[in-house]
Amino acid sequence: MSEAKVVVCGLRREDVADSQTAGTPLPANVEAAARPLVFVPDDISGPLHSEGVTLGVDARNPAAAAIAFAFDSARIRGSRLHVVHAWSLPASAAELPFAIPEEDRAAWEDQEVQQLADALQPWCEKHPEIPVLQDVVLFAPAQALLHCSAGAALVVVGRRPGAEWRHILRSLLREATCPVAVVPS
């Protein structure tokens, strides 16, 4: 028997530790899996959404495996790929004595938009048949993904080490309205 390329897991929301509780475990198979895991929540009501695939990506350090999985998922579904890059204001913005000048905020956002475009360019050239919506949002990553995936058929994230990534994944597994794919880097 050949090895599975994707593992699909049922997800009971109550089994996912509270996203606000530090140090609580994720489902046991998440951090050890060598293949993408797709978690399907047990409380999806009605038909699955059909507005495409949402990919969470860090434009500064894009996870190639997650991007490839998301493009393949959108191709298989014949749907759009919505790529979400969350960003925050630089630390220097907190030092400003007054409100942040709009020109500065716009320049920082333009830089984020360009980083995302640069990260996705080779993928878009390789898959010109897939419509891609690039979305740069000034939210925390978990909030950005939950907001932007509200009508999605699938959310894709790359697996990363660290507490911030675990927080993002816990939030997605507890609150996403569609299946969540976790792709090892």
Q: What are phi and psi of 150, to 5 degrees?
A: -55, -35
CA–chain centroid gap for 80, Å, is 15
pLDDT tens string 25-68: 566 667 777 889 998 888 775 455 567 999 999 999 999 999 99
Half-sphere exposure of 86 (CA within 13 A, CB side): 17
Residue 7 has pLDDT above 80, yes or no: yes
pLDDT tens string 71-124: 999 999 999 999 999 998 777 766 666 777 778 778 888 999 999 999 999 999
Mean predicted confidence (pLDDT) in 114-143:
95
Residue-level pLDDT at 88: 82
Residue-level pLDDT at 30: 77
Residue-level pLDDT at 22: 46
Higher-pLDDT residue of 13 and 134 is 134
Whole-number Å distance between alpha carbons of 20 and 23: 9
Whole-number Å distance between alpha carbons of 120 and 57: 10
Q: To 5 degrees, how large is the angle CA 42–CA 4–CA 16? A: 30
